[in-house]
Chain A
Amino acid sequence: MSSAASYTHPHGVPDTDLYGYLAEFESAQALVDAAEVVNNAGFTKTDAFSPFPIPEIDHALGIKRSILPWIILGAGITGGCAGFFMQWFASVIHYPLNIGGRPLNSWPMFIPITFEMTILFSAFTAGLAMLTMNGFPKHYHPVFNVPSFSKASSVGFFLCIEESDPKFDRTETMAFLKSLNPVEVSEVAP
């Protein structure tokens, strides 16, 4: 009870018993169609859950393209520069070896490691930044409280409207979701 009581609404309105409504749909098509209607109705605090990626839902739900690729690009450039700098610093400044008067900054020989460092930084940034931006690891989430939600990882298609949405109204939103022809609508405990 204490954890429920300490839950506060993002806008400071205390709330103890509702995270939002979760509607289940019978197919990917039905989910995308419903998401479109919900988005057009002006709801913003929404999310859809599906057992596989549905690219069409991004537009239907108004999900903006992530800045993730730019972060990865930045990391790749950083990795490449760091990799080259390390080799240049070691070979020219810190541990110069004069072998038959050959140039110390023999940059073509530094390319393979520069390349590998570019890949290493971009790949790990792609993986870890994706997980971080998605808020993982996060083993608890209110939607897991709905028993039928376990289907979301195999056969179930779900759409959630959060209680914190400015347009959310306990009776009207429930009626609205039911008008979208769902399999069922459940209340989600926080």
Chain B
Amino acid sequence: MSTNDPANESQSEAARAYAPYAPAPMVLPGETYESVTSRIADVVLRRKTQKGWIFGFMIAGAIWFMMMFSIAWLLYWGIGTWGNNIPVAWAFGIINFVWWIGIGHAGTLISAILLLFRQKWRTSINRFAEAMTLFAVASAGLFPLLHTGRPWFAYWLVPYPNTLRMWPQFRSPLDWDVFAVSTYGSVSLLFWYIGLIPDLASLRDRVKNGVGRALYGFFALGWRGSARHWHRYEIAYLILAGVSTPLVLSVHTTVSFDFAVGQVPGWHTTIFPPYFVAGAIYAGFAMVLTLLIPVRAIYGLHAYFTDRHLQNMAKVMLLAGLVVAYGYFCEVFYAWYSGNTWEKYMMVNRSLGPYWWSYWILILTNILIPQLLWFNKIRTNIWLLLIISTSINIGMWFERFVIIVVSLHRDFLPSSWALYSPTRWDIMLFIGTMGQFMVFTLLFIRFLPAMSIFELRTLLPDAKVKVKEEHTH
């Protein structure tokens, strides 16, 4: 907190006084190529590791170890240590998978879709959001792998030549998931790394110690900013964004097929793909805000992550939240309009049955509280934004709980109805993946530039080049 630059605050105040209705700037005035480079690179290169970072890392690491322990316990005793059983055969393993993968989607959305829409404000947040995608996918992937019960046979999910002449079932949405999530994870990693290369070169040229220079230099691949390289780089980057955009939409669509293709009441609706995708955007933006607000305060990055970013992200969240609310409304409408006994019972059971509280927590945290974002005063209040985005994170988790557990625990056969509750190993694994996520995030902030330096340079007034008339014939 001590590193907040008071000059930045007053500059933004001045800018607002000058043009009260103009949007806040994306990069505050007075920044130069050198200041952009040094301020972001120095977070990595010049600052000594802070006590707060070490403290946070130790806590996150401890939670991560708890995850390892719960996995070891699971592998030793088997899947029975988890709370899921018939009829609730899918529980924490899938809730948490969908929750994490949804969070990850904001990274691709910010880096790819906003790039295609020429939303330049994405530049300050895309690197961080992409990293968040990777770490979220790493956490998400654990759950289905462990849920297979024997994760050492997980390669059976992938088609490979084998002496049994066996193939995976390509008509199953669960196998579509394998392809969608593994493609998503690997393409996200590639996109993130390609975006990092020019900034790694910046670090290589600034770092003082030899090990750092060797490592940054190795991964910068010898980048030298050649015009011919930039030319191909920009093409490749744009096409990567172009193919990542349908990819990210397809991933959560496929995840929603896991449910929508089944005939369990509460799952079997066509609203699922769009409503899952909107939910992913919603959860992801909430998580980016939850993480970036503290990071900005700790590292004094107010010059590049301005109120304009907060405003825009809050607006995207509001929109995505309304689509999600429409999805909830549709579920109620279908239950009534279908006239289907089981669908109607599902809706009554969801709102008034044994898990009534989870449905109303969902409505409160995911629909009602975020309506505060309609107000400009609230969109610019950091603390309220932090509270609202946390509320959305909780709400989106309960959404998956309601869809999965509440739908399954009372399905077609009343004789098999049962209640579900997670065991301590379920909870330790879930909390543990948050520790893993924080460990990766803290390492990323410490060793890599958290904002895209080269793209921020292009936002500076000096970077604009005028072409004379005679040149354009």
Q: Tell whether A183 is near chain B: CB-to-CB under 8 Å.
A: no
Given the interface contacts A94-B165, A154-B33, does A126 sit within 8 Å of B239 by beta carbon? yes
**Using Cβ atoms and an 8 Å threshold, which residues of chain A touch B250?**
112, 115-116, 119
Q: How far is the CA of A27 from the CA of B170 in the complex (A)?
A: 56
- Residue interface bits A112-145, CB-to-B below 8 A is 1, else 0: 1101110110111011011101101111110110
Contact B187–A123 (Cβ < 8 Å):
yes
Given the interface contacts A47-B228, A48-B227, A122-B239, does A94 sit within 8 Å of B170 by beta carbon? no
Q: How far is the CA of A68 from the CA of B194 in the complex (A)?
A: 15
Q: CB-nearest residue of chain B relative to A124?
A: B190
Contact B471–A60 (Cβ < 8 Å):
yes
Q: Which one of B167, B193, B217, B218 has the greatest number of beta carbons of chain A within 10 Å?
A: B167
Q: Tell whether A19 is near chain B: CB-to-CB under 8 Å.
A: no
Given the interface contacts A49-B227, A66-B231, A113-B179, does A126 sit within 8 Å of B240 by beta carbon? yes
Contact B167–A94 (Cβ < 8 Å):
yes
- Residue interface bits B160-176, CB-to-A below 8 A is 1, else 0: 00000111001101011
**Using Cβ atoms and an 8 Å threshold, which residues of chain A touch B218?**
139
Contact B227–A54 (Cβ < 8 Å):
yes
Kindly provide the distance from the CB of A144 to the nearest chain B CB, expressed in whole angstroms.
7
Given the interface contacts A28-B465, A86-B159, does A53 sit within 8 Å of B239 by beta carbon? no
Contact B33–A152 (Cβ < 8 Å):
no
Q: How far is the CA of A139 from the CA of B33 in the complex (A)?
A: 25
Q: Which one of A32, A53, A149, A150 has the greatest number of beta carbons of chain B within 10 Å?
A: A53
- Residue interface bits B229-244, CB-to-A below 8 A is 1, else 0: 1111111100110011
Kindly provide the distance from the CB of B453 to the nearest chain A CB, expressed in whole angstroms.
8
Q: Tell whether B226 is near chain A: CB-to-CB under 8 Å.
A: yes
Q: CB-nearest residue of chain A relative to B246?
A: A119
Q: CB-nearest residue of chain A relative to B36?
A: A154
Q: CB-nearest residue of chain B relative to A48?
A: B227
Contact of B34 among A49, A69, A136, A154 (CB under 8 A): A154
Q: Which one of B198, B226, B455, B462 has the greatest number of beta carbons of chain A within 10 Å?
A: B226
Q: CB-nearest residue of chain B relative to A64?
A: B231
Contact of A66 among B206, B222, B232, B455 (CB under 8 A): B232
Given the interface contacts A123-B191, A130-B194, A155-B37, does A50 sit within 8 Å of B227 by beta carbon? yes
- Residue interface bits A38-51, CB-to-B below 8 A is 1, else 0: 00000000011111
**Using Cβ atoms and an 8 Å threshold, which residues of chain A touch B226?**
47-49, 134
Q: Tell whether A1 is near chain B: CB-to-CB under 8 Å.
A: no
Q: Tell whether B51 is near chain A: CB-to-CB under 8 Å.
A: no
Contact B187–A120 (Cβ < 8 Å):
yes
- By DSSP majority rule, is chain B's interface helix, strand, loop, or mixed? helix
- Residue interface bits B448-473, CB-to-A below 8 A is 1, else 0: 00000011011000111111100110
Contact A139–B167 (Cβ < 8 Å):
no
**Using Cβ atoms and an 8 Å threshold, which residues of chain B touch A143?**
224
Contact of A49 among B37, B176, B224 (CB under 8 A): B224
Contact of B225 among A50, A60, A133, A138 (CB under 8 A): A50
Q: Tell whether A109 is near chain B: CB-to-CB under 8 Å.
A: yes
Q: Tell whether A173 is near chain B: CB-to-CB under 8 Å.
A: no
Please classify how large the interface on chain B is, using the bins under 10, 10 to 19, 20 to 34, 35 or more.
Answer: 35 or more
Q: Tell whether A100 is near chain B: CB-to-CB under 8 Å.
A: no
Contact A61–B227 (Cβ < 8 Å):
yes
Kindly provide the distance from the CB of A166 to the nearest chain B CB, expressed in whole angstroms.
19
Q: Tell whether B180 is near chain A: CB-to-CB under 8 Å.
A: yes
**Using Cβ atoms and an 8 Å threshold, which residues of chain A touch B235?**
66, 68-69, 130
Kindly provide the distance from the CB of B195 to the nearest chain A CB, expressed in whole angstroms.
10
Contact B230–A50 (Cβ < 8 Å):
yes
Contact B225–A90 (Cβ < 8 Å):
no
Contact A134–B228 (Cβ < 8 Å):
yes
Q: How far is the CA of A41 from the CA of B217 in the complex (A)?
A: 35
Kindly provide the distance from the CB of A16 to the nearest chain B CB, expressed in whole angstroms.
23
Contact of B179 among A29, A116, A123, A153 (CB under 8 A): A116
Q: Which one of A58, A150, A153 has the greatest number of beta carbons of chain B within 10 Å?
A: A153
Q: Which one of A29, A59, A72, A130 has the greatest number of beta carbons of chain B within 10 Å?
A: A130
Contact B222–A136 (Cβ < 8 Å):
yes
**Using Cβ atoms and an 8 Å threshold, which residues of chain A touch B206?**
150, 153-154
Q: Tell whether B252 is near chain A: CB-to-CB under 8 Å.
A: no
Given the interface contacts A29-B466, A49-B224, does A130 sit within 8 Å of B236 by beta carbon? yes
- Residue interface bits B269-282, CB-to-A below 8 A is 1, else 0: 00000000000000
Kindly provide the distance from the CB of B230 to the nearest chain A CB, expressed in whole angstroms.
4
Q: CB-nearest residue of chain B relative to A58?
A: B231
Q: Which one of A32, A91, A126 has the greatest number of beta carbons of chain B within 10 Å?
A: A126
Q: How far is the CA of A50 from the CA of B206 in the complex (A)?
A: 16
Contact of A117 among B179, B205, B468 (CB under 8 A): B179
Kindly provide the distance from the CB of B223 to the nearest chain A CB, expressed in whole angstroms.
7
Q: Tell whether B183 is near chain A: CB-to-CB under 8 Å.
A: yes
For this complex, 5 residue pairs linking A to B, each with C-beta atoms less than 8 Å apart, are A50-B230, A76-B243, A94-B165, A123-B244, A154-B205
